[in-house]
């Protein structure tokens, strides 16, 4: 009986230990998980939702290799800010920054730590980011960032439960951005110089991109030559 009581006390003390509120420790866990992904290739389906634009559903292939090589094999993505398709924890947290823990918050049933990240250095592109980190799996569930030139963008990520224990790669992403900060290619609306269309664009502030990932090929080895083509994108 004494052994049982001692075991119960030990178990209770373990499960009641408070979770860390150290933002650097939490973000390091996120980066360490993602670094296990040496490279990947994935098919994506992209739906762009902007009221006054005629954008067909698109398909693309994304290739990634650590630490920051990425290639997007597709046409017709002039509308999409590059932070949408080439998002990764490494790119978001690659520069010097200061961070602080704000609170815990439940998102879609997942307990997350909400962390503010302020980039340091000369003229950072992103001024401030708020990151929601899953406490259990240490993946990013949500990002809200304010940039100098492209307004504010939001990213919401979902994960396949069978895959998340091995690799922290999303199954889908909802990317919301400031449409007034994006140059609209002529082919998307026909005649974007039309005054009525331009006024409508200026009134609208948000565009949404839904990205669905499928058929991941992870850590199979990708040659550096794959990233020397014109579709390659710098992070």
CATH number of the domain bearing residue 65: 2.50.20.10
- What sign for the dihedral angle of Cα 126, 129, 135, 136? negative
Is residue 10 situated within a structural domain?
no
User: 39 in a domain, yes or no?
Assistant: yes
197 occurs within a structural domain: yes
In a domain, 98, yes or no: yes
Model confidence band, residue 199 (pLDDT cutoffs 50, 70, 90): low
**In terms of Cα–Cα distance, which of 49, 44, 39, 124 is closest to 88?**
39
Cα angle vertex 58, ends 52, 61, to 5°?
145
Whole-angstrom distance, CA of residue 179 vs CA of residue 209: 11
Name the residue among 92, 97, 94, 99 with its Cα closest to residue 114: 99
Is the previous residue joined to 223 through a cis bond, with omega within 30 degrees of 0? no
DSSP letter at 37 equals: -
Q: Is residue 8 assigned to a domain?
A: no
**Structural domain harbouring 160:** 18-233
Q: How many domains does the chain have?
A: 1
Please check whether residue 68 lies inside any domain of the structure.
Answer: yes
In a domain, 170, yes or no: yes
Do β-strands 58-65 and 206-218 pair in parallel, antiparallel, or remain unpaired? unpaired
Tens-digit pLDDT profile for residues 38-95: 999 999 998 988 776 777 888 889 999 998 888 888 765 555 555 566 677 777 777 7
Max mean pLDDT range (87-91, 132-136, 182-186, 201-205): 132-136
143 is a domain residue: yes
> CA 101, CA 113: separation in Å to the nearest integer?
7
Q: In terms of residues, how long is the chain?
A: 235
- For residue 130, is pLDDT > 60? yes
Over residues 119-123, the mean pLDDT reads: 78
b/e per residue, 147-178, with b = 16+ CB within 10 A? beebbbbebbbebeeeebeebbbbbbbbbbbb
The span from the CA of 230 to the CA of 122, in Å, is 29
pLDDT digits (tens, 9 = 90+) for 161-172: 889 989 999 999
């Amino acid at each position: 009986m004494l052994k049982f009581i001692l075991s119960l006390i030990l178990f209770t003390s373990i499960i009641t230990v408070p979770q860390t509120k150290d933002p650097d420790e939490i973000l390091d866990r996120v980066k360490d998980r993602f670094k296990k992904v040496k490279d990947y290739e994935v098919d994506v389906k992209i739906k762009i939702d902007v009221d006054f634009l005629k954008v067909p559903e698109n398909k693309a292939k994304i290739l990634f290799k650590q630490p920051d090589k990425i290639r997007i094999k597709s046409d017709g993505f002039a509308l999409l800010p590059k932070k949408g398709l080439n998002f990764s924890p490494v790119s978001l947290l690659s520069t010097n920054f200061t961070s602080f823990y704000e609170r815990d918050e439940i998102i879609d049933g997942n307990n997350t730590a909400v962390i503010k990240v302020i980039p340091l250095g000369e003229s950072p592109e992103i001024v401030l980011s708020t990151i929601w980190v899953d406490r259990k799996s240490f993946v990013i569930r949500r990002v809200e960032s304010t940039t100098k030139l492209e307004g504010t963008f939001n990213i919401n990520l979902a994960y396949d439960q069978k895959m998340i224990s091995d690799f922290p790669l999303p199954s889908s992403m909802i990317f919301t951005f400031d449409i007034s900060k994006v140059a609209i290619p002529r082919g998307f609306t026909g005649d974007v110089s039309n005054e009525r269309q331009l006024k409508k664009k200026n009134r609208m502030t948000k565009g949404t991109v839904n990205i669905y990932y499928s058929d991941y090929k992870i850590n199979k080895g990708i040659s550096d030559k794959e990233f020397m083509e014109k579709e390659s994108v710098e992070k």
